[in-house]
């Protein structure tokens, strides 16, 4: 195992190839001359530890610049990146060739053909070749996978993967996407796994050399630090990183309570919408993934918060005198009082709504015979098919009262509100 001294020596050799700005030396010299001399008692172990930490921080601060090489060909979108072979993407200037294989006991050969590394992801291109005279079974596409990717300061999880079998079913060619790896890693180990016929799993680690100087430079990497006010708080957009593999927008919420649904955000570059690929939330934070930018000639970047959960306060009681399938408009939404029915224990009221409208039920009640009666039970939601291509959702609300309900009293409801708020991302020239 390499010691920390060996790691530092290795990175020192790389830093020797880095040219500092010409004015840096003068600034450092002036700063050192102005520091007063002090005598201190030295703790050798502490001094060594601080020096090591300082060296690592220095390397981390300076390493960003030599670690990324720029691609030389056209920009490939995500569909192309995950459907082409590594040799095809390499023709466009992408990635590092690996060609590291492992032969399994049954003769199957797993090969890592190449990798692509950037600020947003780490892609592994691999093939699985069956031995002569055998083919992948019907579960071949899920029989093999990649569980982990490890290295120095790297323990990355897979985020997605896909691939396809050859026509003769003797070869499977796939791409796995992982979280970004540390630029300090020099050797990475991808652990492939196989689901065995007996229900167990076998692991096959494959190690390979990683050259971070062949990683891909980001097209755009900007702080956003802008926000959009919403009904119950604020949606913050923190940063955008557009790399050759994807475009990631990070942000966070400041809300009264966690949102029932995620923000519907669109990204426009030079006025053209970039395809949405997915979104992940972690507590109050979120990460939105878009496709690769259509160009590296960036003039404008805009984010549009189209839809987000809103809250509609209901100020007036709703009449229950004439239930029907006709809607009752409240704010920008509608509800339907479909029926008011007497039961053995009281009254049932069927209320319908759109799929993403949710009545606030903590204080839902009716007025009946001069009394306020709280809801006693609520059924599960069920669909109401309008037979015109639209489906609403209804619930039965039960109330324990012998008096006929007159008014429905409702504090409010959550719904998907249209905001259409645009923020511009400042681009450093």
Question: What would the two tokens of residue 260 be?
Answer: 């029932």
The three-state secondary structure class of 43 is coil
Report the alpha-carbon distance of residue 109 to residue 79 in Å, rounded.
26
Q: Quickly list DSSP for 213-267.
A: GGEEPPSEEEEEEEEEEETTEEEEEEEEEE-SS-EEEEEEEEESS--SS--EEEE
Model pLDDT, residue 306: 98
- CA 364, 368, 370, 374 torsion: positive or negative? negative
Report the alpha-carbon distance of residue 13 to residue 360 in Å, rounded.
63
Model pLDDT, residue 110: 96
Model pLDDT, residue 165: 84
The three-state secondary structure class of 289 is strand
The three-state secondary structure class of 81 is helix
Q: First CA to last CA across the chain, in angstroms?
A: 44
Q: What percent of the chain has pLDDT over 70?
A: 81
**Does the pLDDT value for residue 2 go beyond 60?**
no
Measuring CA to CA, how many Å separate 17 from each of 11, 231, 265, 334? 10, 53, 42, 67
Tens-place pLDDT, residues 251-292: 999 998 889 899 999 999 999 999 999 999 887 899 999 999
**Does the pLDDT value for residue 222 go beyond 60?**
yes
Quick one: pLDDT band at residue 302, thresholds 50, 70, 90? very high
The three-state secondary structure class of 88 is helix
**Does the pLDDT value for residue 187 go beyond 60?**
yes
The 8-class DSSP code of residue 11 comes to: H
Model pLDDT, residue 39: 46
Report the alpha-carbon distance of residue 319 to residue 297 in Å, rounded.
59
**Does the pLDDT value for residue 96 go beyond 50?**
yes
Sheet with 272-274, side-by-side order of all strands:
272-274, 264-269, 301-313, 412-424, 358-359
CB–CB of 379/395 below 8 Å? Answer: yes
**Nearest Cα to Cα of residue 117 among 207, 13, 218, 189:** 218
Quick one: pLDDT band at residue 132, thresholds 50, 70, 90? confident
**Does the pLDDT value for residue 35 go beyond 80?**
no
The DSSP H or E segment spanning 286 is strand 285-290
- Backbone φ and ψ for 63, nearest 5 degrees, come out as -75, -20
Give the range among 121-135, 297-311, 372-386 with minimum mean pLDDT.
121-135
- When pLDDT is averaged across residues 325-350 and rounded to a whole number, the result is 95
- When pLDDT is averaged across residues 162-181 and rounded to a whole number, the result is 89
Please name the residue that has the structure tokens 């991302």: 425
Compare 63 and 302 and report the one with higher pLDDT: 302
Tens-place pLDDT, residues 136-158: 765 555 678 888 999 999 999 89
Model pLDDT, residue 69: 45
The 8-class DSSP code of residue 212 comes to: G
- Backbone φ and ψ for 127, nearest 5 degrees, come out as -130, 150
Please name each of the domains of the chain with its CATH number.
Answer: 1-16+49-63 (no CATH), 78-216 (2.60.40.1640), 220-307+418-424 (2.60.40.1640), 315-410 (no CATH)
Measuring CA to CA, how many Å separate 272 from each of 74, 279, 310, 355, 419? 18, 20, 28, 31, 20
Average pLDDT of every residue of the chain:
85
Model pLDDT, residue 67: 39
**Does the pLDDT value for residue 419 go beyond 70?**
yes
**Does the pLDDT value for residue 112 go beyond 70?**
yes
Model pLDDT, residue 141: 53
Report the alpha-carbon distance of residue 178 to residue 164 in Å, rounded.
19
CB–CB of 284/254 below 8 Å? Answer: yes
CB–CB of 191/204 below 8 Å? Answer: yes
Q: What percent of the chain has pLDDT over 90?
A: 65
Compare 122 and 52 and report the one with higher pLDDT: 122
Model pLDDT, residue 389: 92
Give the range among 37-41, 166-170, 219-223 with minimum mean pLDDT.
37-41
């Amino acid at each position: 195992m390499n010691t920390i001294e060996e790691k530092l020596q290795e990175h020192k050799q790389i830093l020797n190839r880095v040219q500092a700005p010409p004015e840096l030396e003068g600034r450092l010299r002036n700063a050192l001359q102005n520091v007063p001399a002090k005598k201190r008692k030295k703790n050798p172990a502490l001094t060594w530890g601080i020096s090591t930490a300082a060296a690592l921080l220095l390397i981390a601060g300076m390493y960003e610049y030599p670690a990324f090489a720029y691609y030389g060909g056209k920009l490939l979108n995500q569909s192309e990146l995950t459907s082409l072979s590594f040799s095809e993407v390499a023709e466009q200037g992408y990635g590092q060739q690996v060609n590291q294989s492992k032969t399994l006991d049954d003769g199957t050969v797993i090969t890592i053909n190449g990798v692509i590394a950037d600020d947003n992801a780490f892609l592994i291109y691999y093939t699985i070749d069956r031995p002569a005279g055998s083919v992948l079974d019907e579960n071949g596409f899920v029989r093999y996978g990649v569980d982990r990717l490890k290295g120095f300061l790297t323990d990355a999880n897979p985020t997605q993967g896909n691939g396809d079998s050859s026509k003769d079913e003797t070869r499977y060619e796939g791409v796995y996407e992982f979280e970004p790896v540390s630029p300090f890693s020099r050797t990475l180990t991808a652990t492939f796994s196989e689901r065995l016929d007996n229900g167990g799993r076998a692991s096959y680690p494959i190690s390979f050399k990683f050259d971070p100087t062949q990683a891909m430079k980001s097209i755009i990497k900007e702080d956003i630090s802008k926000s959009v006010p919403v009904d119950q708080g604020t949606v913050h957009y923190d940063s955008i990183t557009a790399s050759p593999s994807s475009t990631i927008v990070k942000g966070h919420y400041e809300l009264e309570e966690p949102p029932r649904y995620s923000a519907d955000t669109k990204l426009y570059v030079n006025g053209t919408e970039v395809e949405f690929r997915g979104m992940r939330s972690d507590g109050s934070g979120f990460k939105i993934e878009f496709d690769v930018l259509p160009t590296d000639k960036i003039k404008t970047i805009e984010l549009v918060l189209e839809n987000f959960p809103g809250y509609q306060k209901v100020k007036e009681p709703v009449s229950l005198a004439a239930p029907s399938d006709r809607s009752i408009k409240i704010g920008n939404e509608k509800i339907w009082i479909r029926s008011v029915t007497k039961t053995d224990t009281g009254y049932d009221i069927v209320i319908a709504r759109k799929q993403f409208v949710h009545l606030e039920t903590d204080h839902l009640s009716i007025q009946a015979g001069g009394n306020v009666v709280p809801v006693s039970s609520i059924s599960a939601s069920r669909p109401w098919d309008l037979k015109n291509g639209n489906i609403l959702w209804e619930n039965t609300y039960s109330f324990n009262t012998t008096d006929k309900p007159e008014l429905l009293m409702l504090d409010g409801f959550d719904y998907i509100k249209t905001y259409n708020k645009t923020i511009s991302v400042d681009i450093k020239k």
